[in-house]
Structure 1
Amino acid sequence: MKRLSAIIVFICFLVTSACSLHAQGVVNWKNVRVLVYTKNGKGYVHDNIPSAVSCIQKLGQQHGFKVDTSRDASVMTENNLKQYSLLIFPSTNNDVFDTDEQRLAFRRYIEAGGGFVGLHSVTGTERNWKWFKMMMGGTFSWHAKFQKFKEQVITSSHPSMRGLPKVWEKEDECYFAKELYPGPRVLMAHNITSLNLTDTAQKNLVDKNAGGYADLYPSVWYYDFDGGHTWCTVLGHDKKDYSDPVYVKHIFQGIEYVAGQVKSRDFSKAYADSRDTPVRF
């Protein structure tokens, strides 16, 4: 009897642990303030950024959270960032900070327990900064031509996947990454077998960039990294996405998930004294 009771307790522990793994924190939206940061470095700048900003502002109005926007890197100071529950980088690309002091302020914000949401080309951001690439789980390598293909939900139990199609067919760019780092937890993946690969050059590039992945390649993930909480999607190339109810639901639930994880920002826990201080795992 004692053995049976012990087994029941153990099973309950496993169930509770599994449920808590993806637990959505309760969000008091009136206490949430986000910064939508839109600065891009030299190179390609997505025309979807104004649409993304407008979309997030509308979400703020609908749900009662405050939205600040800026493309000025001078906002990246520790004193300024501490007011934000999370930072949102919509389709940022290349170097988005002007100085290493700004990079350090951003890093210390994450170390203090801050939140980060990245959209679409965010993996192409700060390609020469190792810490940022570690936070992202890698850096942009290549994407296939814009086309219709399928996305596959991998972790349907995660709150940010709630109500989304298990198989989501949409037009977008199939993004790939390099310099991969372990840690991110995959929520959704490109079904690369659904790409139109009749073009031999495209097929060869997909095979090259997919690396060891066969049919599915990560496209949406979350990561509790270096004290902070991140959620990223590489979907959202088309500016029309930001008025599509399914995609808007997708990014809102990512914002909601991160906002629910960020309880406070405690800068006494931030330890970096330079942008390249070794990470304390």
Structure 2
Amino acid sequence: MTHRLLVHTRTTGYRHDSIPAALAAVGRFAGFTVDATEDPAALEGDLSRYAAVVFLSTSGDILTEASRAGLAAAVESGTGFAGVHAAACTEEGWPWYTGSLQRSRFAGHPPYGPGRVLVEDRAHPATAHLPAEWDWSDEWYDFDPCPDPAEVHVLLRGGQDRHPLAWHHRQGRGRVFWTALGHADGAYSDPGFLAHLRGGLEWVCEGRG
């Protein structure tokens, strides 16, 4: 089966130089067809032809009221959603996005650098390939509040306080996957990270219903 993705990369805040590499990497995943856009109007109306919407290092306020309504209706009715890296600092003034879709708020990050990721779930498609501890370099996003483990299933932890870095949950009938990783170009040629991202995308798409 081929899954159709609507991949949104609009930014009104910081724009990551890695967006072209990220978009190219997702476009090379077997089993997916990608429609890439930076037009908010692409999220208006019926999105049922898509297995999932992906916000790929989006930032700032990027949607209109009509596209907000389209995204919320799609996820609530069963379309998957994946948020990658700076998607966590997108639409911060929209309560449905931060409260229901993300279940957290971005609170900054230290400078890009090396760290260690702790894998909480070794069975999920996004993490099954990873060792129990994974050495990685990234922007180590902080969240306030952190996603509540009672509301989301935490996949990865990291940072000084070992807060969640990747998680999933359901919103309405839609599956939702978040990963805070993916800052640099090099992430999108790294086999471990690519398998993490692809596994998350497969998981949200397979829940379409």
- TM-score, length-scaled by structure 1: 0.71
Cα shift readout 1:3-49 (whole Å, capped 9, x = no counterpart): xxxxxxxxxxxxxxxxxxxxxxxxx2x2x1001111112x2111111
1:247 deviates by 0.8
Give 2:178's match in structure 1, choosing from 232, 235, 256.
Answer: 232
1:159-178 matches, cutoff 5 A:
159-178=125-144
Cα separation, 2, equivalents of 1:230 and 1:159: 14
Cα shift readout 1:209-230 (whole Å, capped 9, x = no counterpart): xxxxxx4110000011132111
Whether 1:139 and 2:109 are equivalent positions in the alignment is no
Structure 1, unmatched stretches of 5+, are 1-27, 193-214, 265-281
Partner of 1:54: 24
Cα shift readout 1:114-146 (whole Å, capped 9, x = no counterpart): 101111111101000000001101121110111
User: What is the percent sequence identity of the aligned residues?
Assistant: 31
Cα separation, 2, equivalents of 1:225 and 1:111: 6
Whether 1:33 and 2:4 are equivalent positions in the alignment is yes
Change (3 A) 1:259 1:181: same
Cα separation, 1, equivalents of 2:42 and 2:25: 22
Query: Does the CA contact (< 8 Å) of 1:123 and 1:177 recur in 2?
Result: no
Partner of 1:148: 114
Cα separation, 2, equivalents of 1:139 and 1:94: 13
Cα separation, 2, equivalents of 1:255 and 1:247: 12
Partner of 1:87: 53
1:109-258 matches, cutoff 5 A:
109-134=74-99, 135-180=101-146, 182=148, 183-192=151-160, 215-258=161-204
Aligned partner of 1:78: which letter?
G
Matched position secondary structure for 1:159: coil
Query: Does the CA contact (< 8 Å) of 2:125 and 2:196 recur in 1?
Result: no
Matched position secondary structure for 1:247: helix
1:191 deviates by 4.4
Segment drifting more, 142-151 vs 159-168: 159-168
Cα separation, 2, equivalents of 1:101 and 1:231: 23
Matched position secondary structure for 1:174: coil
Query: Does the CA contact (< 8 Å) of 2:167 and 2:179 recur in 1?
Result: yes
Cα separation, 2, equivalents of 1:224 and 1:130: 17
Aligned partner of 1:167: which letter?
E
Partner of 1:75: 42
Number of equivalenced pairs: 206
Find the structure with the greater CA-based Rg: 1
1:179 deviates by 4.4
Query: Does the CA contact (< 8 Å) of 2:92 and 2:105 recur in 1?
Result: yes
Q: CA RMSD in A?
A: 1.3
Whether 1:259 and 2:205 are equivalent positions in the alignment is yes
Query: Does the CA contact (< 8 Å) of 2:80 and 2:175 recur in 1?
Result: yes
Matched position secondary structure for 1:171: strand
